């Protein structure tokens, strides 16, 4: 096979992409991504040992976070970028190795190959990337491979959230320590299945910490999200469309477009930027344009102006608009212009995007109206008395957590139908782009409480956990699973994996996951999750609603 990747929900035939990624990445890119992860494991072997001796290398920490984030689904498709990253990583590995030895560290007898292999040329990188030991399939035991990959994908999710926090000046060394400990563990052939399961649950604990840190970073920087009516129509000015997840990029773009006559619109997972008080002061911040990430082909074309991709969620672009799409941060795609990272405390420079926008037509209006969001934990807890009263008097019978990801598969129509068919005395709690399956439906409200409460981005699933824990406290329950809350979650990529592991760590059971269960779960590992946490898939909408309400 040319490659092997099964980290996302849309993986080919539900088992693994072997020729080209369904996401659009080539086999060559898939292999150098595997090589970068392989190298990061080797770096982690030394940095974990060095940390025990009091050595903390911030360059290494940030390199590892950034590298893991770059390999997340739909983030970076740019082969030369990964080659440069590998060159940088080899130098850092030698640096942290020297620090480890200088601190008195003793070299282990059986160092894994990822900690010792050497190369200098891109030809040598390619040769290594094509070798069997770098592939996901290098771990022959299916159950060990499944748990190792589950741990790695959870770490990728943690890395994504940690990088956003870092960009706002928030960091914690405990997350770096776990990420590197977990990566090192995937090189240890002496670990048992039980020990890896324990590490996966520890990953969930660190996922909660990572989401809490990002929540703190976002809210202390931009204020607590507020209930907001978001415009989904357009104005007659040229516009810039910003997609992805990074709020620092959002802030700097809004600052640099002030007074230019250019409007700014969010797309996809950037929609929740509309809920933050700090962004509402910008008169040229218009609202949200379009829908979920997978519809960007037709929507970017109709937008007419330039698009800024701040993180993952890129799909291979059409030629008709490719020259108007810019990437920044971890995102990248061949032929797209890239906005460099911040240096020496300065902001990113979006002048090139702004100049292009001035010469573009206004966006074509694709819909009109408003959608309501901003129901993160601070806002919902402020409404706690109203919510509790609605539950006590029977106006609200059950909450459904329908967080997670959207995707292209026809089977995801399930979530729209599910939302439409839920009884009128139920409320949907959502976060992530899964909401685009139902956030524009007219589902009404219950005593003034909208039946769809959007907490924000995928990382704001943390808010849903905080809300659940608060309700558990208010109702005086011993077990979070006694709440009238059901979990019907959609997944697509690795940030959804860490959300799932975080929920499992918090003790939440009976989660239904769809539209399909992950291909990287071996039958035995899947059985462990079923037996320990009662995880299940989805079925037919009517049958599932009866089951949830039964």
Give φ, ψ of 511 to 5 degrees: -80, 130
Residues 538 and 397 reside in one and the same domain: yes
Residues 380 and 418 reside in one and the same domain: yes
Per-residue pLDDT 10s for the chain (550 aa) are 899 999 999 999 999 999 999 999 999 999 999 999 999 999 999 999 999 999 999 999 999 999 999 999 999 999 999 999 999 999 999 999 999 999 999 998 889 999 999 999 999 999 999 999 999 999 999 999 999 999 999 999 999 999 999 999 999 999 999 999 999 999 999 999 999 999 999 999 999 999 999 999 999 999 999 999 999 999 999 999 999 999 999 999 999 999 999 999 999 999 999 999 999 999 999 999 999 999 999 999 999 999 999 999 999 999 999 999 999 999 999 999 999 999 988 999 999 999 999 999 999 999 999 999 999 999 999 998 999 999 999 999 999 999 999 999 999 999 999 999 999 999 999 999 999 999 999 999 999 999 999 999 999 999 999 999 999 999 999 999 999 999 999 999 999 999 999 999 999 999 999 999 999 999 999 999 999 999 999 999 999 999 999 8
Q: Reduced to 3 states, what is the DSSP secondary structure of residue 342?
A: coil
Last residue of a domain, one of 298, 332, 358: 358
CA distance 425 to 137: 48
- Do residues 332 and 76 make contact, with C-beta atoms less than 8 angstroms apart? yes
**223 domain-assigned:** no
**197 domain-assigned:** no
- Do residues 55 and 106 make contact, with C-beta atoms less than 8 angstroms apart? no
pLDDT computed for residue 338 by the predictor: 98
Alpha-carbon distances of 305 from 87, 299, 364, 383, rounded to whole Å:
36, 11, 10, 39
Residues 474 and 508 reside in one and the same domain: yes
pLDDT computed for residue 425 by the predictor: 97
Q: How would you class 16 by CB atoms within 10 Å of its CB: exposed for 0-12, middle for 13-18, buried for 19 or more?
A: middle
Residues 314 and 382 reside in one and the same domain: no
Domain that holds residue 51: 1-138
Residues 411 and 493 reside in one and the same domain: yes
Computed from CA positions of residues 215, 221, 223, 228, in that sequence, does the dihedral angle turn out positive or negative?
A: negative
**201 domain-assigned:** no
Last residue of a domain, one of 86, 118, 138: 138
Residues 354 and 420 reside in one and the same domain: no
Q: In this structure, what CATH number is given to the domain that contains residue 103?
A: 1.20.1270.20
Residues 354 and 385 reside in one and the same domain: no
**327 domain-assigned:** yes
pLDDT computed for residue 108 by the predictor: 87
**248 domain-assigned:** yes
Residues 382 and 238 reside in one and the same domain: no
CB atoms closer than 10 angstroms to residue 528: 19
Residues 343 and 387 reside in one and the same domain: no
**161 domain-assigned:** no
pLDDT computed for residue 550 by the predictor: 87
CA distance 144 to 522: 9
Instruction: State how many domains the chain has.
Output: 3
Note if the pTM is more than 0.75.
yes
Rounded-to-10 torsion of CA 21, 183, 492, 34: -10
Residues 321 and 435 reside in one and the same domain: no
Q: In this structure, what CATH number is given to the domain that contains residue 327?
A: 3.40.50.2030
**535 domain-assigned:** yes
**220 domain-assigned:** no
Give φ, ψ of 58 to 5 degrees: -70, -30
Residues 350 and 389 reside in one and the same domain: no
Last residue of a domain, one of 138, 158, 184: 138
Residues 335 and 412 reside in one and the same domain: no
């Amino acid at each position: 096979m040319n490659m092997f990747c099964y980290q996302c929900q849309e993986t080919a035939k539900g088992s693994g992409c072997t020729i080209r990624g369904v996401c659009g990445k080539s086999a060559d890119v898939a292999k150098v991504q595997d090589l970068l992860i392989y190298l990061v494991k080797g770096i982690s072997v030394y940095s974990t040992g060095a940390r025990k001796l009091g050595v903390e290398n911030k360059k290494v920490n940030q390199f590892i976070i950034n590298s893991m984030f770059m390999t997340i689904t739909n983030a970076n498709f740019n082969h030369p970028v990964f080659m440069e990253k590998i060159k940088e990583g080899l130098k850092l590995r030698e640096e942290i190795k020297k620090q480890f030895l200088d601190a008195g560290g003793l070299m282990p007898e059986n160092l894994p190959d990822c900690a010792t292999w050497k190369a200098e040329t891109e030809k040598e990188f390619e040769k290594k990337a094509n070798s069997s030991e770098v592939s996901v399939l290098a771990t022959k035991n299916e159950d060990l491979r499944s748990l190792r990959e589950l741990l790695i994908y959870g770490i990728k999710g943690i890395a994504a959230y940690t990088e956003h926090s870092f960009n706002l000046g928030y960091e914690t060394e405990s997350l770096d320590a776990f990420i590197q400990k977990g990566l090192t563990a995937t090189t240890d052939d002496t670990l048992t299945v039980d020990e890896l399961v324990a590490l996966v649950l520890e990953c969930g604990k660190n996922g909660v910490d990572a989401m809490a840190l990002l929540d703190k970073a976002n809210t202390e920087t931009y204020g607590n999200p507020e209930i907001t009516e978001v415009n989904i129509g357009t104005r007659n000015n040229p516009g810039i469309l910003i997609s992805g997840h990074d709020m620092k990029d959002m802030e700097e773009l809004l600052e640099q477009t002030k007074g230019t006559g250019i409007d700014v619109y969010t797309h996809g997972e950037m929609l929740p930027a509309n809920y933050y008080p700090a962004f509402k002061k910008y008169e040229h911040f218009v609202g949200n344009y379009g829908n979920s990430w997978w519809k960007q082909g037709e929507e970017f074309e109709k937008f007419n102006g330039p698009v800024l991709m701040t993180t993952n969620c890129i799909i291979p672009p059409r030629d008709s608009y490719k020259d108007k799409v810019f990437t920044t941060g971890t995102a990248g795609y061949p032929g797209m212009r890239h906005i460099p990272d911040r240096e020496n405390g300065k902001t990113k420079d979006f002048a090139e995007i702004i100049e292009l926008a001035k010469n573009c037509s206004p966006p074509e209006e694709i819909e009109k109206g408003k959608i309501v969001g901003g129901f993160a934990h601070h806002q919902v807890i402020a409404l706690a008395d109203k919510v509790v009263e609605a539950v006590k008097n029977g106006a609200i019978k059950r909450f459904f957590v329908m967080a997670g990801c959207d995707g292209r598969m026809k089977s995801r129509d399930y979530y729209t139908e599910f939302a439409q068919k839920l009884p009128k005395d139920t409320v949907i709690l959502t976060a992530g782009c899964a909401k685009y399956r139902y956030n524009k439906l007219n589902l009404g409200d219950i005593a003034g409480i909208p039946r769809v409460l959007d907490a924000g981005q995928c990382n704001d699933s943390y808010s849903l956990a905080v809300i659940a824990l608060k309700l558990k406290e208010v109702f005086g329950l011993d077990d979070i699973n006694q709440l009238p809350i059901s979990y019907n979650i959609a997944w697509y990529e690795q940030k959804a994996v860490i959300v799932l592991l975080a929920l499992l760590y918090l003790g939440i059971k009976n989660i239904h996951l769809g539209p399909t269960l992950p291909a990287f779960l071996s039958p035995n590992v899947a059985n462990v999750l079923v037996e320990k946490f009662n995880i299940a898939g989805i079925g037919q909408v009517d049958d599932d609603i009866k089951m949830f309400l039964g």
